[in-house]
């Protein structure tokens, strides 16, 4: 089955710096790669996602890149702010776009700390 | 809209006791999921329901049962709780198949402690 590895497990940056979190996946059939942010005491919330037919996607200060050949994808946060401090999870899934109930396999998470 | 709601927020059980975790969504989503989150382990899928009337095992189903009561509600039952089931449990839902978004929307979680 699918396995998703996520690095680093913790990341500390200064406010204004960039942060990069990397994930690798094992199943070449995976075609959907979301990133979730989890704040303390809350459930995960989607921040950005990418499909396998796209190499990069950007949303303001957040971007995700995908390298299908190497089977890895990365989250890039620029101009970090203290409110970016949270646990970030990558995930992977496969299946037709219109298939109900496609299960996500999550990485183990990265705790990002942004100090001011 | 409340989104995904879970009850209770926190529960303490003794080994061998049973309990049901409740989950409801008001977004008219077809699919619902139960995950558990343990320190350093990320989120692991316990069971999911692709649509009303169907349920399937996920990565870690042993010791759990589920019921898709209707389109809105998906419950998780522990028949005989064990300390290894101490965890934070998250319910999630995702939109109908064929829509643009595949986002899974998560509830706030239930923190379960089994003594």
For B11-69, what is each residue's pLDDT tens digit?
A: 999 999 999 999 999 999 988 999 999 988 889 999 988 888 889 888 899 999 999 98
**Where residue A98 falls among pLDDT bands split at 50, 70, 90?**
very low
CA-CA distance, A26 to A40, in Å (whole number)? 29
Q: B73-88: string of b/e by CB count within 10 Å (b at 16+)?
A: bbbbebeebeeebbbb
Q: Which whole number is the average pLDDT over A86-93?
A: 94
What are the residues whose beta carbons fall under 8 Å from the beta carbon of B5, sequence distance 6 or more? B23, B24, B25, B107, B108
Phi-psi region of B86 (alpha: psi -120 to 50; beta: other; left: phi over 0): beta
**Looking at beta carbons, which residues of chain A come within 8 Å of B97?**
98-100
What is the least distance, in Å, from the CA of A84 to any CA of chain B? 19
In the predicted structure, residue A114 carries a pLDDT above the cut 50: yes
Residue A48 has pLDDT above 80, yes or no: yes
Q: If you measure CA to CA, which chain B residue comes closest to A104?
A: B45
Does the beta-carbon distance from A101 to B109 stay under 8 Å?
no
Over range A40-55, report the average pLDDT: 91
Among candidate residues A5, A104, A88, the one with its CA nearest the CA of residue A48: A88
> Do the Cβ atoms of A100 and B30 come within 8 Å?
yes
Contact A74, A64 (CB under 8 A): yes
Tell me whether residues A105 and B45 touch, CB distance under 8 A: yes
Task: Report chain B residues whose CB lies below 8 A from the CB of A44.
Answer: 43, 90, 106
Whether A15 shows a pLDDT value over 60: the answer reads yes
Contacts of A49 in chain B (CB under 8 A): 102-103
Task: Give chain B's contact residues with A (Cβ, < 8 Å).
Answer: 4, 30-31, 33, 40-45, 48-51, 54, 56, 58-59, 90, 92, 94, 96-98, 102-109
For residue A45, list chain B residues with Cβ-Cβ distance below 8 A. Answer: 106
Residue of A36, A99, A101 with shortest CB distance to B49: A101
For residue B99, pLDDT over 60 is answered with: no
Q: Is the pLDDT of residue A111 over 80?
A: yes
Higher pLDDT, A106 or B51: A106
User: Per-residue pLDDT for B73 more than 60?
Assistant: yes
């Amino acid at each position: 089955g699918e396995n998703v590895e996520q690095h680093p497990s913790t990341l500390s940056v200064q406010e204004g710096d960039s942060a990069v979190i990397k994930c690798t996946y094992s199943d070449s059939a995976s075609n959907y790669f979301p990133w979730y942010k989890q704040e303390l005491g809350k459930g995960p919330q989607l921040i950005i996602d990418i499909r396998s037919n796209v190499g990069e996607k950007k949303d303001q200060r957040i971007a995700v890149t995908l390298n299908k050949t190497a089977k890895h994808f990365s989250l890039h946060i620029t101009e970090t702010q203290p409110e970016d401090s949270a646990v970030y999870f990558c995930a992977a899934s496969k299946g037709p776009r219109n298939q109900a109930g496609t299960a996500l396999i999550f990485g183990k998470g990265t705790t990002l700390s942004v100090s001011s | 809209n409340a989104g995904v709601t879970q009850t209770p927020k926190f529960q303490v059980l003794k080994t061998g006791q049973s309990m049901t975790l409740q989950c409801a969504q008001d977004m008219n989503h077809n699919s619902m999921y139960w995950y558990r989150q343990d320190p350093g382990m990320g989120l692991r899928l316990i069971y999911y329901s692709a649509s009303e009337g169907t349920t399937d095992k996920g990565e870690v189903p042993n010791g759990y049962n589920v019921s898709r009561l209707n389109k809105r509600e998906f419950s998780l039952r522990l028949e005989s709780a064990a300390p290894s089931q101490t965890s934070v449990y998250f319910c999630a839902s995702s939109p109908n198949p064929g829509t643009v978004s595949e986002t899974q929307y998560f509830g706030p979680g239930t923190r379960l402690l089994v003594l």
